Every structure is written in structure tokens, then in C-alpha cells.
Amino acid sequence: MAEGHLPTTSEYIGHHLQNLVYGKFPDGHWGFAQSAQDAKAMGFMSINVDSMGWSLFLGLLFIWLFRKVAKSATSGVPGGVQNFIEMVVEFVNQSVKDGFHGKSALVAPLALTIFMWVLFMNTMDLMPVDLIPLVAQKIGVFAFGADPHHVFFKVVPTTDPNITFGMSITVFLLMIFYSVREKGLGGFIGELTLQPFGKFLIPFNFLLEGVGLFAKPISLALRLYGNLFAGELIFIMIALLPFWAQWVLNFPWAVFHILIIILQAYIFMMLTIVYMNMAHEKH
Amino acid sequence: MNINLTLFGQMIAFALFIWFCMKFIWPPVINAMQERQRKIAEGLQEADRASKDLELAQKSATDTLREAKVQAAQLIEQANKRANQLIEEAKDNARAEGERIKVAAQADIEQEVQRAKEALRAQLASLSLLGAEKILQTSINQEAHSKMLEQLAAEL
């Protein structure tokens, strides 16, 4: 590229899998990480600008689109956009009705937010793998005078575990909150310790239920992350083929990926509904 | 995969989006949909009721028609009966009138006959007297014989 040599395969892949990180260097000053080592050295006090930015942009896109329709929602004959929004809302509402048996004003909007947001973030996976990173690189080089090799850019927020864990932990906190609110602190602790083997095996019960409890947010986050990361990785590898051969693999994988995108958004939503239902259920 | 502040950023953003969705997106959309559902249900019910009403109206219309037909038939029958009655009455009247006229005519005839007889009787007395006079060629004591002739005339 700028230094005259084409990146090797592993360099290309590595470059694509590195986030654009802004954070605090070990020596105390704040700035963009110039390499994966820099990003690692920053540790926790850093932020993935690309995933955070896209995530916020897509979340706001969802909010803007739905708010626009919600403001002018009519019970008469719905227009085109309202039809689409209502289709989604109806679908989410039906899923919530099927999976959640309590009464809560939160669960349905939560499910809708998850479904649409994750769907939008996943859909970024269908963008050509080099298009947006290339634009970002040009902007980085011309606007900030950055070295093109050090401009990293990942466009699919759900391939960043920070994003998926951010969502699953929020769901987890809501789960804990509603469990305690519905069953009382005693009820919640009882649920964790008094089953499945009765009160004589409390430590064992606690271990079992504790693992079960923490497995929920972890599996939720890792399932989404793993699926999208793997999908993106395969797109990146397909991009390494000669340009005239790419479509042979690219097209079928993209078609298949449309399924993955929707399915993963649906699974995240559905499991959240189920978990919230468990939090509301009294034994 | 390094976990960093992005995690908290995402959590905060997620919480805000959920809140916004719960406050400003879900209720109006779902309300509009439920409202429409209610309207459609009402419309269907209305249509159901209207068709039932129509059925009822048709039934009552046929009922009324049948009743009207029955009434008309009754009326016609009555009218026929009345007409027959009138004809019968007229016939009776005519018959009675004819009878009466006949009786009056007979009475008249009787009277005429009586009168004719009277006249004849009167004439016969004088004629027979005249005749007897001629036959006998004698004068007869009119006073002596008139009593006898009157008796003879009364026998006629």
C-alpha cells in the first residue's frame, strides 16, 4: 500500500480484525492505538470507536425510524413504512405473547429494541468487507494525517464482544432486578440454593444454579459474537481470492448469511424473552 | 478480544434505547394497532348485524306479503258473497214486485169485470123489459113487473 508492499494474507486478516481503539496509553496520554499491541497495552481504559460509533448510529437509526412512525401512527389505513413497522411490532408482540406469561410494560419494548438493533448491526455484515474500512482509511489519512496502516476499522458491531456482552449483561441485570422484585430477595436466593436437590445440598445447588445463571448472559453474548465473527471472517477470507472468483463463494455465503443475520437477532430476542419470563415466574 | 470501556458505552446506550422505546415507540404503535383491531372487529360485527337485520326484514316482508294476499283473498270472497247476496235480494224484490203488480192488475180486472157486470145488469133490465114489451106487445104495468125483472137481473 503506501509503503509499496501488498499486505500478506495474515496481515490483511489481522488488520481487518483490529478495532479502531481510542484510549489511554501506558505513559498516560490519550490517543488512537497504532497497532494491536498498543490496543492491548491500553487495557480497559480505551474505547472501540468503530463498533461504538456504528452501534450508536444504528441504534439511533432504529429509534429515529420507529419514532417517526410512532408519532404519526394511525388506526386507519396504514401507509408503507407504518405497515413495515407494524409487521415487525406484530411479530415481536406475538413472540412476547408466546414466550412471556407475566405482565410487564418492559419486556415487549426490550424485545423490539434487541431485535431491531441486533438486526441492523448484523446487517452491516453484508457490506463489502473493504468498502467502509477503505473510506475510513482515506478519511483518516486526509483528515487526521494518519498512517494508512494504522487506521483500523471494523464495521460490524456484533463482531465485537464488548457490544454483545454489553447487551447481554444489561439483560442479565434486568433479569436479576425483576427476579428480586417479583420473588423478593429471599425468593430469589431460595431459587438459587434450594433446588434441584432440597435443603441438604445447598452448596451443591448453589454451584449448579449459579453456573446456570451466569451461563445465560455469557452464552447469549458469545453465541451472537461467535456467529457474526465467524461469518465476517469468512467474508474476509473470500475477499482474499482473486476478484473474478470471489462471487462464486461470496454470493452463496451472503445469501446464507441473510438467514444468520435474522436468525441471530431472533434468537437473542427470544432468549431474552424466555429469561425475563423465568425471572417473573414464581415457583 | 479485549474488553474495555466500549462495554459500558454499549450498556448505557442499550439502557437508553430500551427506555426510549418503552416510553415513546411501543405504546403509540401498539395502541394504534389495537385500535385498528377493535375497529375491524366492530365493523365485522356491524356487518353481521346488518345481514341479520336484512334477513329479518326479508322475512317480515314475505310475511306481510302473505298476509296481504290472504286478506285480499278474503276481501274478494266477501265481495263475491255480498254480490251474490245482492243479486238474490234483487231477485226476491223483483219477484215480490211482480207478484204485487200482478195482484193489483187482477184486482183492477176484477173491478172492471164487476163494473161491466153492473152496467150490463142495468142495461139488461131495460132491454129485457123492452124485449118483453115487444114480445107481448102489450103494455105492461111497469111498476108491477119491474120488481120481478130486478129479481131476474139479480140472478144473472
pTM above 0.80, yes or no: no
Distance from CA of B50 to the nearest CA of A (A): 22
Return d(Cα A252, Cα A208) in angstroms, integer.
42
Return d(Cα B153, Cα B86) in angstroms, integer.
55
For B74-99, the pLDDT digits (tens) are: 999 999 999 999 999 999 999 999 99
Grid coordinates representing A165? 456482552
Which of chain A's residues have a Cβ under 8 Å away from the Cβ of B22? 105-106, 109-110
For A43-77, the pLDDT digits (tens) are: 888 888 888 999 999 999 999 999 999 888 888 88
Looking at residue A247, its pLDDT comes to 86
| Contact assignment for B21 to A113 by CB distance below 8 Å | yes
**How much is the CA Rg of chain A, to the nearest whole Å?**
22
| Contact assignment for B29 to A167 by CB distance below 8 Å | no
Return d(Cα A89, Cα B32) in angstroms, integer.
11
Give whole-number Cα distances, B14 to A184, B6, B10, B89, B108, in Å: 26, 12, 6, 108, 135
Mean pLDDT of the region A133-140: 84
Distance from CA of B43 to the nearest CA of A (A): 13
Nearest to B25 among A21, A109, A165 (CB): A109
Looking at residue A119, its pLDDT comes to 95
Q: Cβ distance A170 to B14 under 8 Å? A: yes
Q: In this prediction, what percent of chain A has a pLDDT beyond 90?
A: 43
Interface test with A, best of B18, B20, B23, B24 (most A CBs within 10 A): B18
What average pLDDT does the structure give for chain A? 88
* Residue type (1 letter), A186: G
Looking at residue A116, its pLDDT comes to 95
Give whole-number Cα distances, B77 to A8, B37, B73, in Å: 115, 60, 6
Looking at residue A5, its pLDDT comes to 61
Nearest Cα residue to B29 out of A82, A111, A92, A98: A82
Q: In which residue are the cell numbers 446487517 written?
A: A123
Grid coordinates representing A149? 496502516
Return d(Cα B137, Cα B118) in angstroms, integer.
28
For A84-111, the pLDDT digits (tens) are: 999 999 999 999 999 998 888 899 999 9
Q: Cβ distance A75 to B39 under 8 Å? A: yes
Nearest to A109 among B5, B18, B39 (CB): B18
What average pLDDT does the structure give for chain B? 90
Nearest Cα residue to A165 out of B45, B101, B5, B156: B5
Residue of A nearest to B38 (CA): A75
DSSP character for A127? S
Distance from CA of A76 to the nearest CA of B (A): 6
> Is the pLDDT score of A216 beyond 90?
yes
Looking at residue B41, its pLDDT comes to 95
| Predicted-complex ipTM score | 0.88
H-run or E-run covering A21: strand A21-24
Most confidently modeled range among A22-31, A233-242, B4-13, B50-59: B50-59
Q: Cβ distance B6 to A162 under 8 Å? A: yes
